[in-house]
Amino acid sequence: MKINTAVNNDDLDSHLLATASLENLYRIFTVPEAPNSTLGGIDNEISANLMGFLTDRIVAREKSLLAIEQDFSDSRVPEIPQFVSDYTDFVMKKLVAHSVHTAAPGFIGHMATPLPYFMLPLSRIMVALNQNLVKIETSKAFTPLERQVLGMLHNLVYECDDAFYQENLHNARRALGTFCSGGTTANITALWVARNQMLGANDTFKGLATEGLPSALAHYGYKDIAILVSERGHYSLGKAVDVLGIGRKNLIAIDTDAKSKIDLVKLRQTCAELQESNIGIMAIVGIAGGTETGHVDPLEEMSDIATQVGAHFHVDAAWGGPTLLSNTHKSVLKGIEYADSVTIDAHKQLYVPQGAGMVIFKNPSMLGAVEHHAEYILRAGSKDLGQYSIEGSRPGMAMLVHAAFHIIGRSGYEILIDQNIDKARAFASMIDQHSEFELITDPELNILNYRYVPADIQKMLRSGDYKQQFNINEKLDRITKRMQKQQRAAGKTFVSRTRFSQFKYGGMPVSVFRVVLANPMTTLETLRSILVEQIKLAEREGTQAILTEIRAQL
Amino acid sequence: MKINTAVNNDDLDSHLLATASLENLYRIFTVPEAPNSTLGGIDNEISANLMGFLTDRIVAREKSLLAIEQDFSDSRVPEIPQFVSDYTDFVMKKLVAHSVHTAAPGFIGHMATPLPYFMLPLSRIMVALNQNLVKIETSKAFTPLERQVLGMLHNLVYECDDAFYQENLHNARRALGTFCSGGTTANITALWVARNQMLGANDTFKGLATEGLPSALAHYGYKDIAILVSERGHYSLGKAVDVLGIGRKNLIAIDTDAKSKIDLVKLRQTCAELQESNIGIMAIVGIAGGTETGHVDPLEEMSDIATQVGAHFHVDAAWGGPTLLSNTHKSVLKGIEYADSVTIDAHKQLYVPQGAGMVIFKNPSMLGAVEHHAEYILRAGSKDLGQYSIEGSRPGMAMLVHAAFHIIGRSGYEILIDQNIDKARAFASMIDQHSEFELITDPELNILNYRYVPADIQKMLRSGDYKQQFNINEKLDRITKRMQKQQRAAGKTFVSRTRFSQFKYGGMPVSVFRVVLANPMTTLETLRSILVEQIKLAEREGTQAILTEIRAQL
């Protein structure tokens, strides 16, 4: 009889760990959790009703972080093993109960998507196999699978012909991209490649990878190198230029227009200025699905500029990339096919669990710029994926992308994506028609921004001069922050909040609610209820006091 | 009745996906996989008998990679959704069957460890919650949990007093470490911090993170900066100096002694030479559990040298770190408590699934050197973990480390670690006593190297001069490679192979078998059978022909 975990059952205690003996340790590797044990029960509960589990087990009302920290305050590795059942009780009460129901239809504040049911058993297969994708010797069939997934993404973006994929998909000396834990490492990888490619080996110079950035600048005669992106660029790009030794001052933010898109005139002008100052333009980064606004940059024109100045053109499509799966909307990303590299996250709009990002490269030789080898694995000429990745050991997450592509299919994704965009537009018009909200960004994809501003104050803003607008916006910012925190604390629904420059207020940064619509279970009714809740929050004393202050300015 | 997947059952087909309709897509998010479906069945099979699943479902005999690639050769995202059951059949036959049974007792070639049973349901909880640890708004209680796990590791290494942990564990302005997807990103993070710390802001200089490495060198007046590690350093360090813009030529490999430990005389000498050449010594890296040999560097002495030259002292304990959990063996890592930063992987000797690395910092302010913020998350003063991580979005893997610490306990880990080391010693003496094998490294921890060399050829090697040794070793290398490939292809057992300089052969690099003993199910009988299999492989024609060649040299 195989029994491992059970609650407070003396007869079964001998089967549990709770004392460190070789025999007990051997058991945790060989004796399964019984289905009727505490942990087995939770496992079945999730399998039978994921949404029910999340809804019932996560408490809605926010517990203070300080209080939660009390349960995670011991800094010693426990000496004595704990019964699995006791630990499970702890996890359910102290961890699960106070985690975030990111799959709730009303949780529309971040790029968190719910998971299709099939992800659960497939994730179990992945965990059970525990492959390490760094090398074929610990991953075997997972290696061609990952290369195929990267090829599918490449095809989605670049639509090369069959001969191209036949030649490159499984070619040991080529790589169509690399898997990453997420969009940040994907962006870092793209810029790492761009940097090494720009300042590569020539003549007697062995290349930046060997000689370092200072020697490379000296050799190529640049004063510095720069990366250009709009002011809406994701913060990972700042991290990338820091990590890569380029420096944050060399990540140059270009102004945006009324639609949050990069100002092409200013981009061209800045390129010219940099060239005059002998600063090499390493890369231009286009945004396809801005983190805060969901907008898409004019990729085609940016690619032309990048070509003119000889820069690598990277597109950060971590969010928006999957839009290419929709025939209805893929034209929004027009020009992405000219990118030298593209970041796409699978744990966002591909509905895969956390930990799956990708960067693909148009030219399958380009990742050679960051190739590395070792003696015990990743030997030159091998097909080990670790040769081209910033990470070393990695799980087989590509399997879940592969599964989603097959089980949902392109036509399935199209429906999901179209729905999300339709919903965003419907919500935008709901906000726009509401007298107490100001729509800040009209959604190009499925992200939008707005804030609470009663009609009379909207009028004040429209008619006011810059200084008056500044004073009003400063107070409205306080309201936005208050309301967002109160809504989060109430735990029924969640929008996030951000702050960015507003074209219509002369570039003044303003705090706004941020909404990301990617949950198929979010209905128009959910969205309506979010506005209703916010109207109620606005009635609270604190907010009313600030409104009175604003009105007193008249 | 909730039914989603079933094989070829017309009555149930309407419940399956296989056509992209909004209703069908809604179902994959709301209707669970039935326990009697194909995928539900596999799920239960794994839960009931993980080892059986791995043993039965993975075919032992190697299928050629070329043949496997055929099953993953379509580069288009499938247009039409596939039934979950059909996809599951594909996965079982084409992916699972040809993956690697890394948890097999005879798979002792890589740092792959089997998983305790409780990891399966706990991983399901983690996946189901799908938290994103980059920020509190998408992870809540997971944030203090992760900080606690990092604190436990910090405590394990540095043993600071309770007041220290009370002050720092949950302090928004401090970080005891950061979670990473693995040891590679952990090592990169440590060196990123060291680099930014060394060349930080002073006077009017805004620091390397802002100004970039070339300006930083100019400001500080260094010709270059260097990182020193023994020639046994992990390849991720080469990747790190490339990524960080420092350049691979500035990662300086120091010779090792007969026990694979760094030569302290040469380390001191190289430091002096670098200082004379005005090359700043950014970091000295000690190894605690060499990837290839399992050795531990003289950490205490290295720390003294690092202090003398003002360098950051990093210890790569990705493999060996958990040895600190054994009171019997922790003294092997003496001096690790002087490290400024330490890398430890949880997906190695902590028996956690792939994707869990950590780097901890002695000084809880040090990670400030790479701190970054954004407007929508990671605001200054928040407790968002993403402020200090090289990655952005990340899964809640810390939960599995937390679980393992509680369920196995320090005393449980001690038994596992002691067993592994005992087993390595027993295997070493088995090899040493065998007339046809040459033990290359006597294990300090639980990794060892050896090769197949019949007694008479061992004698030839001992008595030969350098040139003769070179000729023999070159031929033995061919044998080692052949045998390792043949053994892998046979699929019964697996040792890996590497190549490194041999002190006893005057620094000549030699190919060897590499064995990592961390699977509690590996018995002495397993190890004996591996040698038996190798003896049989050695009888094959190709190997015999090379042996004849060697003997002809006499």
Q: Please report where in the chains the tokens 């007046």 appear, as a residue.
A: B221
> Would you state the pLDDT for residue B17?
62
pLDDT in tens, A70-82: 999 999 999 999 9
B102 vs A132: CB contact, 8 Å cut-off? Answer: yes
> Would you state the pLDDT for residue A13?
39
B209 vs A410: CB contact, 8 Å cut-off? Answer: no
B213 vs A212: CB contact, 8 Å cut-off? Answer: yes
Q: Are strands B341-345 and B312-316 parallel, antiparallel or unpaired?
A: parallel
Of A124, A144, A241, Cβ closest to residue B68:
A144
Contacts of A407 in chain B (CB under 8 A): 17, 28, 81-82, 84, 87
First to last CA, chain A: 80
Two structure tokens written together for A268: 């061209």
Distance from CA of B554 to the nearest CA of A (A): 30
Query: How large is the C-alpha radius of gyration of chain A?
Result: 26
Largest CA distance in chain B: 82
> Would you state the pLDDT for residue A538?
97
pLDDT in tens, B53-105: 999 999 977 789 999 999 999 999 999 999 999 999 999 999 999 999 999 99
Task: Judge whether B77 is closer than 8 Å to chain A, CB to CB.
Answer: yes
Distance from CA of B291 to the nearest CA of A (A): 9
Contacts of B395 in chain A (CB under 8 A): 353-355
Task: Judge whether A496 is closer than 8 Å to chain B, CB to CB.
Answer: yes
Confidence category of residue B18, pLDDT binned at 50, 70, 90: low
What whole-number distance in Å separates Cα of residue A104 and Cα of residue B116?
Answer: 31
Contacts of A235 in chain B (CB under 8 A): 372-374, 378
B49 vs A68: CB contact, 8 Å cut-off? Answer: no
Task: Judge whether A210 is closer than 8 Å to chain B, CB to CB.
Answer: yes
Task: Judge whether A73 is closer than 8 Å to chain B, CB to CB.
Answer: yes
Distance from CA of A318 to the nearest CA of B (A): 11
* Residue B213 · residue B199 · CB < 8 Å: yes
Distance from CA of B415 to the nearest CA of A (A): 7
Regarding pTM above 0.80, the answer is: yes
Contacts 24+ apart (CB under 8 A), B370-375: B370/A242, B370/B189, B370/B192, B370/B193, B370/B196, B370/B209, B372/A235, B372/A238, B372/A239, B372/A242, B373/A235, B374/A234, B374/A235, B375/A292, B375/A498, B375/A499, B375/A500
Task: Judge whether B482 is closer than 8 Å to chain A, CB to CB.
Answer: no
Phi and psi angles of residue B343, each rounded to the nearest 5 degrees, phi first: -95, 130
Over 80: is that where the pLDDT of B541 sits?
Answer: yes
- Which parts of chain A have pLDDT scores under 70? 1-18, 554
What whole-number distance in Å separates Cα of residue A18 and Cα of residue B57?
Answer: 32
Distance from CA of A466 to the nearest CA of B (A): 23
Of A2, A98, A407, Cβ closest to residue B17:
A407
Mean pLDDT throughout B190-202?
98
Two structure tokens written together for A386: 């670790």
What whole-number distance in Å separates Cα of residue B500 and Cα of residue B508?
Answer: 8
A394 vs B206: CB contact, 8 Å cut-off? Answer: no
pLDDT in tens, B409-451: 999 999 999 999 999 999 999 999 999 999 999 999 999 999 9
Restricting to B residues 349-408, those with a Cβ less than 8 Å away from any Cβ of A are 353-355, 357, 370, 372-378, 383, 390-396, 399, 403, 405-408
Two structure tokens written together for B551: 């003997």
Helix (H) or strand (E) holding A469: helix A466-490
A20 vs B48: CB contact, 8 Å cut-off? Answer: no
What whole-number distance in Å separates Cα of residue A553 and Cα of residue A539?
Answer: 20
Distance from CA of A29 to the nearest CA of B (A): 4
Running DSSP on this structure, what letter comes out for residue B71? Answer: T
What whole-number distance in Å separates Cα of residue A123 and Cα of residue A363?
Answer: 32
3-state secondary structure A199-266: CCCECCECCHHHHCHHHHHHHHCCCEEEEEEECCCCHHHHHHHHHCCCCHHHEEEECECCCCCECHHH
* Residue A425 · residue A414 · CB < 8 Å: no
Task: Judge whether B204 is closer than 8 Å to chain A, CB to CB.
Answer: no
| Mean per-residue pLDDT of chain B | 94
Contacts of A148 in chain B (CB under 8 A): 72-75
* Residue A232 · residue A256 · CB < 8 Å: yes
What whole-number distance in Å separates Cα of residue B480 and Cα of residue B17?
Answer: 51
Percent of chain B past pLDDT 90, that is, above it, reads: 91
Name the packing angle between helices A142-158 and A398-433 (round to 10°): 40
Restricting to A residues 421-480, those with a Cβ less than 8 Å away from any Cβ of B are none
Two structure tokens written together for A320: 């928006």
Contacts of B345 in chain A (CB under 8 A): 393
Distance from CA of A554 to the nearest CA of B (A): 31
Percent of chain B past pLDDT 70, that is, above it, reads: 97
3-state secondary structure A210-228: HHCHHHHHHHHCCCEEEEE
Distance from CA of B15 to the nearest CA of A (A): 13
**What's the Cα-to-Cα distance from B214 to each of A207, A247, B8, rounded to whole Å?**
15, 9, 65
Contacts of B138 in chain A (CB under 8 A): 100, 102, 110, 112
> Would you state the pLDDT for residue B22?
87
SS3 label, residue A15: helix
Can you list the positions of beta strands (E) in A362-426?
none
Chain centre to alpha carbon of residue B61: 26
Task: Judge whether B543 is closer than 8 Å to chain A, CB to CB.
Answer: no
Task: Judge whether A183 is closer than 8 Å to chain B, CB to CB.
Answer: yes
Of A54, A87, A212, Cβ closest to residue B406:
A87
